[in-house]
Amino acid sequence: MLECVAEYGFEATTVSAVVASARVSSNAFYEFFADKADCFLAACDEVAGELLSELLALTTEPNWIEAMRKGAGIYLRWWTERPAFARAYLLSLEAAGERAQEQRERTYELFRAMFADLGRRARAEQAELSPLSPLVPRVLVVAITELVAEEVRAGRGERLPELEDELARLAIKLLADDATAVRALP
């Protein structure tokens, strides 16, 4: 499914193309999915869950800054290593309609919670930090997602890892303060 959507876009992708690519029958497809949107969203949920699991595993890092730094690298390389998913999810999801928007919102909420947890951890490790604005996790999720989408749209997906240090520095600055960002990534 993801390969078809990456190649043709969601609207032009047909169930016939998906079953031919997957080498399954139409009957088998409809045993699992109501329609192509259902299949696409299930695939997106599964793959996004894999990414989130990798990032949440960073809670074992010795400090929140190291978790953020490593997380930025994992996130950017993850999209680079999955160009078909990057094109399908970042460029075609909206075409899948209202259910896709609901799916994206659910996924964004998980990532917002991850950033809010990083903010709480930062304050536990650096008591001098001021309270985290609830807007910060929202801004980080939307801005980072759109930055990655912009790079993919421009055909620069393979260059995403080049943004790692700058992205990590910016996220650390928003989650903590300028001084912490400078110390973390001079």
Token pair belonging to 138:
């929202």
pLDDT tens readout for residues 29-84: 999 999 999 999 999 999 989 999 999 999 999 999 999 999 999 999 999 999 99
Q: What integer best gives the mean pLDDT of the chain?
A: 94
Select from 175, 157, 155, 183 the least CA-distant residue to 68: 175
DSSP annotation of 10 reads T
CB-neighbour burial class of residue 36 (10 A; exposed 0-12, middle 13-18, buried 19+)? buried
Name the band, by pLDDT with cuts 50, 70 and 90, for residue 124.
Answer: very high
Whether residue 161 is predicted with pLDDT greater than 90 in this model: the reply is yes
Select from 148, 172, 182, 174 the least CA-distant residue to 66: 172
Query: What is the rounded distance in angstroms from the CA atom of residue 67 to the CA atom of residue 55?
Result: 8
Look at residue 130 in the predicted model and tell me its pLDDT: 96
Query: What is the rounded distance in angstroms from the CA atom of residue 79 to the CA atom of residue 81?
Result: 5
The mean pLDDT value for 136-159 works out to 97
Whether residue 140 is predicted with pLDDT greater than 90 in this model: the reply is yes
Look at residue 94 in the predicted model and tell me its pLDDT: 87
* Alpha-carbon separation of residue 58 from 46, 79, 117, 126 (angstroms): 20, 18, 12, 18
The mean pLDDT value for 99-122 works out to 95
Q: Are 38 and 130 in contact (CB under 8 A)?
A: no
> Which residue reads 């996220």 in tokens?
171
Look at residue 95 in the predicted model and tell me its pLDDT: 87
**C-alpha of 141 from chain center:** 8
Query: What is the rounded distance in angstroms from the CA atom of residue 140 to the CA atom of residue 117?
Result: 13
Look at residue 16 in the predicted model and tell me its pLDDT: 93
CB burial of 93-121 (b: ≥16 within 10 Å; e: otherwise) equals beebeeebeebbeebeeebbebbbebbeb
Q: What predicted TM-score, i.e. pTM, was given to this entire model? A: 0.90
* Alpha-carbon separation of residue 156 from 10, 71, 103 (angstroms): 21, 20, 26
